[in-house]
Amino acid sequence: MPEPCFRMVVRRVFRLPGRPVVVAGAADPVGLRSGDLVDVLRDGAVAATTRAFVEVHAPAGVVALVLPDVAPSDVEPGMVVRRA
64 strand-pairing partners = 24, 56
d(Cα 65, Cα 28) in Å, to the nearest integer? 12
Please give the angle made by the CA atoms of 77, 79 and 81, to the nearest 5 degrees.
120
Please give the angle made by the CA atoms of 10, 15 and 19, to the nearest 5 degrees.
120
Per-residue pLDDT of the chain (84 residues), as tens digits, is 456 589 999 999 999 899 999 999 988 777 788 999 999 999 999 999 999 998 766 667 788 999 999 998 899 999 999 998
- Predicted TM-score of the model (pTM): 0.86
Give the long-range contacts of residues 1-5, CB within 8 A, separation 24 or more: 3/31, 4/28, 4/30, 4/31, 5/31, 5/82, 5/83
When the candidates are 3.40.50.720, 3.30.365.10, 3.90.950.20, 2.40.30.10, the CATH number that belongs to 7-83 is 2.40.30.10
Question: How far from the centroid of its chain's Cα atoms is residue 40's Cα?
Answer: 7
